[in-house]
């Protein structure tokens, strides 16, 4: 394991028994197309996505017995989406550890939301395989606790699409419109949503589903309109 990965391991708060798991977690598919004999982090990402979703759901369920199912779902989605996960990955300096193909690296891949969020999920998958569910729970809890607390403070704002629709109806007598694009293979698509009101782009969001991307875009649009119409 190189020094960058050792430091990443320290920031995670987990010392890997099988260091090859962390090494595999930072290998992007663009890198393996230029280097034979390696596997990308996509399988670890698949596992980490499931582990992350379970742990966050468990945490919010146990901490917030007063919240109904719908609010719990909104809370989980607000912290388990590409944009939020990329921020956590950025805080960990995951980008500096990624192995990217030359083209992806030149295109700023180490700062891309989808690549960072996928890598974080792969790292969580690696922790789970290396040390099991209890340690993975501790690591994810430490990583996501601040995000969960922030989301709880803004629980009434989590359904951003509904809030935006109400705001635009009140302010402009108009409804928001979402323009969706996607990229990536069918089994691993990334969606980007741009929300438009009266021919003006108010926010852009990215996510693993159309709905998730729309929610992020709507939240940004709500913040924009809040600042303009205080």
Residues belonging to the active site: 49, 121
Q: Which of 114, 88, 86 is nearest to 11 (CA)?
A: 88
Task: Give the C-alpha separation, 59 to 142, whole Å.
Answer: 11
CA dihedral of residues 219, 223, 229, 230 (deg, nearest 10)? 120
Closest C-alpha to 5, from 97, 104, 89, 103: 97
């Amino acid at each position: 394991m190189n020094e960058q990965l050792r430091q990443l391991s320290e920031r995670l708060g987990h010392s890997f028994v099988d260091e090859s798991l962390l090494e595999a977690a930072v290998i992007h598919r663009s890198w393996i197309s230029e280097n034979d004999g390696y596997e990308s982090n996509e399988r670890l990402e698949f596992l980490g996505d499931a582990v992350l979703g379970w742990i966050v759901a468990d945490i919010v369920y146990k901490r917030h017995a007063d919240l109904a199912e719908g609010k719990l779902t909104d809370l989980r989605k607000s912290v388990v989406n590409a944009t939020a996960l990329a921020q956590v990955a950025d805080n960990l300096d995951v980008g500096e550890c990624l192995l990217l193909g030359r083209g992806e690296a030149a295109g700023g891949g180490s700062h891309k939301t989808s690549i960072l969020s996928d890598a974080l999920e792969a790292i969580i998958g690696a922790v789970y395989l290396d040390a099991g569910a209890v340690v993975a729970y501790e690591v994810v809890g430490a990583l996501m606790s601040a995000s969960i607390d922030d989301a709880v403070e803004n629980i009434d704002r989590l359904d951003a699409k509904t809030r935006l629709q109400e705001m635009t109806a009140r302010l402009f007598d108009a409804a928001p419109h979402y323009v969706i694009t996607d990229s990536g293979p069918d089994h691993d698509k990334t969606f980007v949503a741009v929300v438009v009101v009266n021919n003006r782009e108010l926010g852009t969001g990215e996510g693993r589903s159309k709905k998730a991307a729309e929610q992020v875009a709507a939240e940004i649009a709500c913040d924009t309109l809040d600042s303009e119409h205080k």
